[in-house]
Amino acid sequence: MCGIIGYVGPRECRDLLLEGLRRLEYRGYDSAGLSLLGDDDIGSVHAVGNLERLRDAVADGNGHLRGSTGIGHTRWATHGRVTEANAHPHSDTSNRVHIALNGIVENWSELRAQLEAAGAKFTSETDAEVVAHLIAQHLDGDLTEAVRRAYNELRGHYAFVAMSADHPGVLVGARKECPLVVGIGKGESFIASAIPAFLAETRNVQLVQDGEIVELTSEGTRFVEPVSGQPIEREVEEVDWDDEAAEKGGYETFMLKEIHEQADAVAETLAGRLDSEAIDLGDIGISDEFLRNVRRVIIVACGTSYHAGLVGRYSIETWARVSAEMDVASEFRYRNPLLDERDLVIGISQSGETADTLAAMRLARERGAKVLSITNIMGSQATRDADGVIFTRAGLEIGVAATKTFVAQVIAMQLFALKLAGLHGTLGPEVTTTLITQLRRMPHMIAELVDSVDEQARRIADQFKDCGFFLYLGRHVGLAICLEGALKLKEISYIPTDAYAAGEMKHGPIALLDENTPVICVATDSPVLDKMMSNIAEVQARGAHVVAVATEGTHVDAEEVIKVPRTDWLLQPALAIIPLQLVAYYIACARGLNVDQPRNLAKTVTVE
């Protein structure tokens, strides 16, 4: 995820901005840049790679980069390659307006065409650059007014900060869904995508809300409603975080922070990919022609990514009616698989570096199959070992236990399944439109769910934290969520867990049940819900405790029922996993364990 920092005040701000970017490094980035407003013009430096490279680039400029109004940015490439030209800040043709932007501008291509027709010269491949040109086009003596007009023409979700050489001592920020926050110092103001960026300078903050514009000067701030232009009152709050808490965004652990970032991760993964009636994945490197004729999809992955693949398998078979198989990468690569040029192999890996997944992808290519990678990391090995790539855009995940990257993988697989269904003509327009509408709402549903189930998850964790074993039961996509929920609990709490297809319970695992066993049942809406209900009754008959995850509006007879919002049943997995992540999290915390760094585990597994 990208980072923004801006400063306006009396101080020479180059080093302040570099330090702000350093404090945002934990969010992950692949290039960075700074723009400073000097006496009459704006100087800018970009660098690919880490901040050391940016510092070197700044030093190479013999200190020409000076000023007391400036913006800085760390970029995590989503639109356009990792190059200096694509790094932010971006400027308009006359180099008078500079912007740094996080997020996605969905209508960038139509805006770019209009701006080019009006004479604008673009220098990058990014969607963000249109914002600088658009503000410049509207600039007529008032930067805030120009930002307001530009904002009203933009679609997507983003946060940006703009400055203009004609308006020294002014920064203007705008927020549409992506985070933006202001820091109020003594005779100076800061703006950033996260509080840690300026926490060493001030603890007084003003939160920019969704759909607001803010003008900053050394004297303070002015908030504006973008449609009406009316002023908005905003109080100043004091944050009491120490440095460590700041890095974690005020959460106790990275894992909890990342659980709360899932709505943003999904919003990013969806951004620009949903038309009203179809899925637009852009150029994924695998042609529509190939996908129309594809014989079989085989998904390979490890761990959590394997569970996301399972959800994908069901989605592909149900929506696109294309035969889909799923295998653990470390098994697939050694089973001498039969493959040919009509097969598509999808390798899912958040890191893009997992040895077994890479080996499985290479083997598939050697045998003539096309290979698509689904990964979170640009430039990772998986992107080089594949014919095509779909990026999840979950941002850097620091907690070893995957959370937000899992949900982003599930969504990416579902986008792919819907695209395939479109090409195969297997879903009617009404169903497609309903699914797209529900996907659009997914970030909001996730954001609300994370908050609304928190207390219940804590209570359940408290009740069962000392149990020696947990069984998870589910069917269909619910089984994938059980496998993932069980993995989360075992890897961070070290409690043995088992996840089973509920229909298999009577073939053995039922022997494990007694009145001390918590059984987590994923019983969300689905065509097999009745069967799942019977399984729950069987569990209860053995005296075990049932905690069920169910869809709002369905009655499930269990000791504890956690409700998730109603959607199409195949979209339930990205919601159903959230309470299970939280239950696992609170159990591990109650046992005093280090959830961010569980024993024996590494974030990236590069050995076989």
**Residues known to be catalytic:** 2, 603
Closer CB to ligand F6R, 86 or 376, in the complex: 376
Q: Where are the beta strands (DSSP E) in 231-274?
A: 231-232, 237-238
Least distance (Å) between residue 357 CB and ligand F6R: 5
Measuring CA to CA, which residue among 524, 474, 464, 546 is closest to residue 503?
Answer: 474
Closer CB to ligand F6R, 111 or 401, in the complex: 401
Least distance (Å) between residue 166 CB and ligand F6R: 47
Query: Could you give the CA distance from residue 323 to residue 120 in angstroms, rounded to a whole number?
Result: 48
Measuring CA to CA, which residue among 183, 111, 189 is closest to residue 151?
Answer: 111
**549 binding ligand F6R? (CB under 6 A):** no
Task: Rule CB under 6 A: choose which of 3, 6, 303, 474 binds ligand F6R.
Answer: 303
**262 binding ligand F6R? (CB under 6 A):** no
Task: Rule CB under 6 A: choose which of 44, 74, 78, 305 binds ligand F6R.
Answer: 305
Measuring CA to CA, which residue among 494, 493, 538 is closest to residue 519?
Answer: 538
Tokens of 172: 């203007």
* CB neighbour class for 345 (10 Å; exposed up to 12, middle 13-18, buried from 19): buried
Q: Which helix (H) or strand (E) holds 270?
A: helix 262-270
Least distance (Å) between residue 487 CB and ligand F6R: 6
Closer CB to ligand F6R, 305 or 572, in the complex: 305
Interface region with ligand F6R, contact rule CB under 6 A, candidates 22-30, 99-107, 351-359, 507-515: 351-359
- Say if CB 357 and CB 348 are below 8 A apart: yes
**Footprint of ligand F6R on 399-418 (CB under 6 A):** 401-402
DSSP letter (8 states) at residue 435? H
Least distance (Å) between residue 400 CB and ligand F6R: 6
**371 binding ligand F6R? (CB under 6 A):** no
Task: Rule CB under 6 A: choose which of 78, 144, 269, 354 binds ligand F6R.
Answer: 354
- Location of structure tokens 């985070």: 179
Closer CB to ligand F6R, 201 or 484, in the complex: 484
Interface region with ligand F6R, contact rule CB under 6 A, candidates 303-311, 432-440, 547-555, 571-579: 303-311
Angle between helices 143-151 and 129-138 (to 10 degrees): 120
Tokens of 242: 């120490």
Look up residue 346 and give its amino acid. Answer: I
Query: Could you give the CA distance from residue 98 to residue 595 in angstroms, rounded to a whole number?
Result: 41
**351 binding ligand F6R? (CB under 6 A):** yes
Tokens of 364: 């598939």
**In Å, how far are 28, 255, 488 from 401, measured between CA atoms?**
17, 7, 7
Least distance (Å) between residue 603 CB and ligand F6R: 7
Closer CB to ligand F6R, 139 or 402, in the complex: 402
- What is the torsional sign of CA 59, 65, 67, 71? negative
**373 binding ligand F6R? (CB under 6 A):** no
Q: Which helix (H) or strand (E) holds 43?
A: strand 42-48
Measuring CA to CA, which residue among 102, 127, 95 is closest to residue 113?
Answer: 127
CA 563 to chain centroid, in Å, comes to: 23
Least distance (Å) between residue 406 CB and ligand F6R: 7
Tokens of 61: 């400029």
- Say if CB 296 and CB 323 are below 8 A apart: yes
Closer CB to ligand F6R, 431 or 605, in the complex: 605
| Contacts of residue 60, Cβ cutoff 8 Å, sequence gap at least 6 | none
Closer CB to ligand F6R, 194 or 360, in the complex: 360
**350 binding ligand F6R? (CB under 6 A):** yes
**304 binding ligand F6R? (CB under 6 A):** yes
**349 binding ligand F6R? (CB under 6 A):** yes
Least distance (Å) between residue 528 CB and ligand F6R: 26
Find the residue with minimal CB distance to ligand F6R. 303
**253 binding ligand F6R? (CB under 6 A):** no
**269 binding ligand F6R? (CB under 6 A):** no
**491 binding ligand F6R? (CB under 6 A):** yes
Closer CB to ligand F6R, 160 or 416, in the complex: 416
Q: Are strands 470-474 and 497-501 parallel, antiparallel or unpaired?
A: parallel
Task: Rule CB under 6 A: choose which of 146, 302, 449, 513 binds ligand F6R.
Answer: 302
Q: Which residues sit at the interface with ligand F6R, rule CB under 6 A? A: 302-305, 349-351, 354, 357, 401-402, 487, 491, 604-605
